[in-house]
Amino acid sequence: MRKKFGIRQILLLVLILICLIVPTFVKTPYMLGIFVTTFYIGCGTLAWSVLGSLTGEISLGHAGFMGLGAYIGALLMNNKHITPWVGMLVAFVVVGLLAACLLAPCFVLSGPYFTLVTIAFAEAFRNLFTNWDYAGKGQGILVPLKEQGMYSMRWISKVPYYYIALIMLIVFYVILRKIDRSKLGYALKTIREDEETANAVGINPFKYKFIATFISAGLIAVVGVFYANYIGYINPDIMKQSQALNYVMPAIIGGIGSITGPLLGAIILTPLSEFLSATLSHIAGGLNLVVYAVIVIAVILFRPTGIMGWFDHSKFKKKMNDRFDAIDAKLFGKRG
Amino acid sequence: MAELLEIKNLTKNFHGLKAVSDVSFTVEKGSITGMIGSNGAGKTTVFNMISGVLTPTSGSIIYQGKDITGTKACKYTGMGIARTFQIMKPLRNMTVLDNVVSGAIFGRKQLNAVQAREYAAEILEFTGLYDKKDLYPKDMGTPYKKRLEVARALATDPELLLLDEVMAGLNPTETDEAVELFQKINEQGTTILLIEHIMRAVASLCQKVVVMHHGEKITEGTPEQVMNDPYVIEIYLGKEED
Ligand SMILES: Nc1ncnc2c1ncn2[C@@H]1O[C@H](COP(=O)(O)OP(=O)(O)OP(=O)(O)O)[C@@H](O)[C@H]1O
Ligand SMILES: [Mg+2]
């Protein structure tokens, strides 16, 4: 096991440092916005991955859970003056529990049937909020900018959002890595591979799917609270199933089956789709989406296991590991 | 010797088809007991009931003096009962080591993830899979995949190990190696109940053999007694003729 400090850790630190100083170089709100979007989509993808990658249950209802979180955060702030930071906590617990309880009867459904149920729930929430006076009906609600600062999580500048999103992404990633290597992670992965085997080694699939749903929906609800404050305006459209694809696509392209894959997918896809819409959409409306779709289809056709799925089994990875080990040996002397 | 497992009048119907009818036998603590019978005799169905995958239509399963009939499938490793599947079920996108860690972590030993990884490595060493620990199941041949099934079950630290045709498809040398492995497992105190078609393996491993045919137990005894039983000979020879 490689636990010691080495070149990999150094590279990671450098990467984080670069991320930390990006706002001092990138000044335009547009560019900074792309970073923020990438980070929070990355968070959403990681949250989705707890169910999608680790447990193998494909949800297309996560936009609904994110929307619920967004509404909880915004309504608490607007109507009760409760800070979004507490809102994040409330959203995590409430949405996590709600999703787990609603989906629990559907855990016996496999594959596409489970997916259909998640779509149905998200759609139900969207309709509920479209008709709910307290939540501003179809017009949605504004999160006003009357007070700036940490308490309200509202700023005119995008820089604070940049750092919050970055930290959130790092925290989410660390949480997922921890889960991946824990007892919970082994339970989820075993269930994903074969539920009968899971039972046979002593895993209660129901219990662990409940926990996974709780964490997955709860985490994306936290992203929702961030989103509401960052954008400053939410309406029921954010619960649309098409919005859920923002979190599913990166996971599939990056590689379901690992934690790094979905993160990598988000880091590649989000800027790519921004770039395409900036460069192509004025040539012909929707052209950017066509190109995006073609790229996604190409990856799925040629690398069905995603980028990381390919990488994990490639010679390239082995070469890179050998190179890193060699550098480690040179820098720190021979160890273990 | 005391009885570890007692099967009493076990019956299973599938929509009118009597897959298992009124089967009774015992498994002595510390023994290796075999179960033979032609295809479709109901052997796997008996295993599925002993491991909670199926609920018996009637009859009971007594384990360590307690009636465990109908207990949920995920509770068995906690009680010390582990099984393999006739149709291999490797965890495909997990390494050989992680396959076994899964068994170790949720078995009787109540290990945490770190301890489970260490214990899994020991089990891999014991079952001769250690040098393959970083491979994926698909990268190994059938004999190793079968071994992996056994290793995962063994990692749960069972008192009673149920093996469903884990030697099928092995050549004679591999079969001998497998026989040796099961003897080793048994010597460490694990009771084994195994389904097997390979008579040579059954004869060298089992103290007692239960013979099933068309859902019924037709006889039981030492391997020698069973193989000299005229009815058993008729069934087996009859099978070879057609
Ligand atoms: N889940 C099920 N539903 C319906 N019928 C079943 C089911 N499982 C088994 N059967 C039937 O029950 C009978 C006994 O099957 P079983 O798998 O127990 O036989 P077996 O002795 O293990 O045979 P083999 O040596 O081929 O593995 C067969 O006729 C089979 O088709
Ligand atoms: Mg069978």
Q: Where are the domains of chain B?
A: 1-70+190-242
Distance CA A57, CA A65 (A): 15
H/E/C letters for each residue in chain A?
CCCCCCHHHHHHHHHHHHHHHHHHHCCCHHHHHHHHHHHHHHHHHHHHHHHHHHHCCCCCCHHHHHHHHHHHHHHHHHHHCCCHHHHHHHHHHHHHHHHHHHHHHHCCCCCHHHHHHHHHHHHHHHHHHHCCHHHCHHHCEECCCCCCECCCCECCCCHHHHHHHHHHHHHHHHHHHHHHHCHHHHHHHHHHHCHHHHHHHCCCHHHHHHHHHHHHHHHHHHHHHHHHHHHCEECHHHHCHHHHHHHHHHHHHHCECECHHHHHHHHHHHHHHHHHHHHHCCCCCCHHHHHHHHHHHHHHHHCCCHHHHHHHCCHHHHHHHHHHHHHHHHHHCCCC
Q: Which ranges of B51-141 does DSSP label H, i.e. alpha helix?
A: 76-79, 96-106, 113-126
Query: Ligand 2 centroid vs B164 CA: distance in angstroms?
Result: 7
Mean pLDDT for chain A overall: 90
CB contact under 8 Å between A197 and B85, yes or no, is yes
Nearest-atom index, ligand 1, CA of B46: 18
Structure tokens at A317: 């990875």
- From B11, B12, B13, B14, the mutation candidate for ligand 1 (largest count of ligand atoms within 8 A of CB) is B14
Q: What is the mean pLDDT of residues B56-62?
A: 96
CA of A55 to the centre of ligand 1 (A): 30
In this model, does residue A3 exceed pLDDT 70?
Answer: no
- Summarised one tens digit per residue, pLDDT across range A163-175 is 999 999 999 999 9
* B91 closest CA partner among B155, B140, B138, B150: B138
Task: Tell me: pLDDT of A136 over 80.
Answer: yes
A205 touches chain B (CB under 8 A): yes
pTM: 0.91
Which of A54, A107, A186 to mutate against chain B (most B CBs within 10 Å)?
A186
What pLDDT is stored for residue B238 in this prediction?
A: 64
Q: Hey, what domains does chain A have and what are their CATH numbers?
A: 7-332 (1.10.3470)
ipTM value: 0.92
Closest residue by CA, ligand 1 atom 2 = B14
Q: Which of B44, B199, B217 to mutate to test the pocket of ligand 1 (most atoms within 8 A of CB)?
A: B44
Give pLDDT, residue B1: 58
Q: Under a CB-based contact definition with an 8 Å cutoff, are residues B132 and B96 in contact?
A: yes
Determine whether the interchain pair B94/A190 forms a contact, defined as Cβ–Cβ distance below 8 Å: yes
**Cross-chain Cβ contact A186/B106 below 8 Å:** yes
Question: Contact A189/B74, CB-based, under 8 Å?
Answer: no
For the cut 70, the answer to whether the pLDDT of residue A257 exceeds it is yes
Q: Kindly report the CATH number that applies to the domain delimited by B1-70+190-242.
A: 3.40.50.300
What is the mean predicted confidence (pLDDT) over B87-92? Answer: 90
Q: Which of B94, B92, B89, B96 is nearest to B134 (CA)?
A: B96
Q: Is some CB atom of chain A closer than 8 A to the CB atom of B144? A: no
Averaged pLDDT for residues A8-18: 88
pLDDT of residue A327: 86
pLDDT given at position A334: 59
CA distance A199 to chain B (A): 4
Centre of ligand 1 to C-alpha B53, Å, is 13
Nearest CA-CA distance, residue A61 and chain B, Å? 25
B102 closest CB neighbour out of A181, A196, A201: A201
Q: Which residue has the least CA distance to atom 22 on ligand 1?
A: B44
Say yes or no: B138 contacts chain A, CB-CB below 8 A. Answer: no
CB contact under 8 A, A183 and B112: yes
Partner residues linked to B213 by β-bridges: B216
Test A203 with B51 for CB contact under 8 angstroms: no
